[in-house]
Amino acid sequence: MAIESTQTCISFTAEVDLSSWQYKPVKIGSANMTVDKADADNDPTIGILQNKPVAGQPAEVCVAGISKAIAGAALSTPGALVECEVTTGGMIAAASGGFAIGRVVQTAADTEVCSILVSPTYVATA
């Protein structure tokens, strides 16, 4: 079972409907203090969305700490860097040059909820 731990969260405004994006990565939106889905190659992720806001509602984003996240592929190596999978927003092993959002704390199979140590300052070098 995935866990969460002490987190640093920041409240933004959802730029788009994020009601199906809980426990997936977000990026800074195009307007002030907004967030959008991180769903394109090399999107610079800032954290993991903790709630299910629609456009215009508060979006709670974990920017540091241990968060639940959705696996976009099997994550079987604790400590491995992870990044956002383009189509689903799930966590996958970080590729060289990608924007890693953190490290695997608890492993999971594809589409399962896992635990990620959120630290979006990591840049994948693998």
Q: Which of 62, 68, 109 is nearest to 92 (CA)?
A: 109
| pLDDT tens per residue, range 29-73 | 999 999 999 877 677 889 999 999 999 999 999 999 999 999 999
CA distances, 30 to each of 12, 48, 69, 73 (Å) = 12, 18, 24, 29
Per residue in 66-109, pLDDT (tens digit) is 999 999 999 999 999 999 888 888 999 988 877 889 999 999 99
Q: From the CB of residue 126, how many other CB atoms can be counted at a distance below 10 Å?
A: 11
Our measurement of the distance from residue 88's CA atom to the centroid of its chain's CA atoms, rounded to an integer in Å, reads 11
- Contacts of residue 17, defined as CB under 8 A and 6 or more positions apart, other chains included, come to 54, 55
Model pTM score: 0.90
